[in-house]
Amino acid sequence: MDEGKWKGEGNYKAARDYDEGATAHAQDKDKVRSEAEAAKKALEGDEGAELKAAEEEGKRHAKR
C-alpha cells in the first residue's frame, strides 16, 4: 500500500504521524507544564481579553 495516498476518509500515514507526535508531546511533562504556564500568563496579561474573545468566537462556531 502506498502510505502517502488518500484512502477513503483520509491519509492514514499523516494521521498516524500526527497521533505519534501528539502523544510524544503530551508525554513531555516539562514542556507541557511550561506551555501551560505561558498560556496562563498570556490570559492574565495584556492579550488576555483578546484571547478570551477569540475563545468565545470559536465556541459560537462549534458544533454541538
Mean pLDDT of the region 37-57: 96
Looking at residue 55, its pLDDT comes to 95
Higher-scoring residue by pLDDT: 26, 11: 26
Looking at residue 4, its pLDDT comes to 58
Please determine, for residue 32, whether its predicted confidence score (pLDDT) is greater than 60. yes
Residues 6 or more apart whose Cβ sits within 8 Å of residue 32: 25, 26
